Amino acid sequence: MPSLPLLSAAIMGGYLAAFLYLTARSARAAKKNVWLFGLGSRQGLPALLFRLTFAGALIHPALLAFGLEPVPAFFSPPAGLRVTGLVVALAGAVFAIHAQHYMGTSWRIGSVAGHSGAIVDTGPFGLSRNPVFVGQIAMFTGFLLARPDAVQLALAAGLVLAVWLQVHIEEKVLERDLGDPYRDYRQRVRRWL
């Protein structure tokens, strides 16, 4: 059976590959750039945090798989908790990718006034206004359960901070761009779950 670090790296690598593929597909279908982080100056910090946390979540388990342990685990979790963590991480990755796919041509990375897609309010977006972020947070929580160490804790905290900052930016932009339909959606559907 593959080691825990290899499984963690495989989950993150698979997630990132699917994320990039769906992003490219959305850009082709929309016939426009969907990568908006560079267009909004207030998004610099969340953009940096997203890049660092996702790169770290791929590199950290790879280092562990090669026997390089930058920091020791806080404790050695029982096998059941490690497996549960990987299942939670995988479920979070699948949920985030499903939600991204469901957005279709409304998918954007970042949020800038005048570049919002149509409101998607069915499927996973009928459960949460931010199901991609919910899935990502579940994925990082799963990695932390599987390997409770300072690096995983910092990566999970960095991701939560990036999500929190980005959601506040996106909500303002969507309200400005989409007006009453977005306000109605915000009243009907919770921000998280």
Supply the CATH number for residue 100's domain: 1.20.120.1630
pLDDT in tens, 184-193: 999 999 999 8
Tokens of 163: 């999500």
pLDDT beyond 90 at 183: yes
Lowest-confidence segment of 1-10, 19-28, 78-87, 148-157 by average pLDDT: 1-10
**Pair of tokens at residue 83:** 């497996």
For the chain, the domain total comes to 1
Mean pLDDT across 119-131: 97
- Is 74 within the bounds of a domain? yes
Mean pLDDT of the region 132-157 = 97
Question: What is this structure's pTM?
Answer: 0.95
- pLDDT confidence of residue 11: 97
CB 57 within 8 A of CB 12: yes
Q: How far apart are CA 121 and CA 114, in angstroms?
A: 20
Please check whether residue 160 lies inside any domain of the structure. yes
Question: Is 193 inside a domain boundary?
Answer: no
Contacts 24+ apart (CB under 8 A), 21-24: 22/97, 22/100, 22/101, 22/107, 23/100, 23/107, 23/109
Planar angle of CA 30, 165, 124, nearest 5 degrees: 50
27 within a domain of the structure (yes/no): yes
Rounded CA-CA distance 136/114 in Å is 26
Segments forming the whole domain that contains residue 103:
4-188
| 169 located within any domain | yes
Residues 129 and 184: beta-carbon distance below 8 Å: no
The answer to the question of residue 168 being in a domain is: yes
Q: Is 73 helix (H, G, I), strand (E, B) or coil?
A: strand
Q: How many beta carbons lie within 10 A of that of residue 159, not counting itself? A: 24
pLDDT band at 167 (very low <50, low <70, confident <90, very high): very high
Residue 75 lies in a domain: yes
pLDDT of 41 strictly over 70: no
- Taking alpha carbons only, the member of 45, 35, 27, 49 closest to residue 140 is 49
Give the span between the Cα atoms of 53 and 160, in whole angstroms. Answer: 10
| Position 170 in a domain | yes
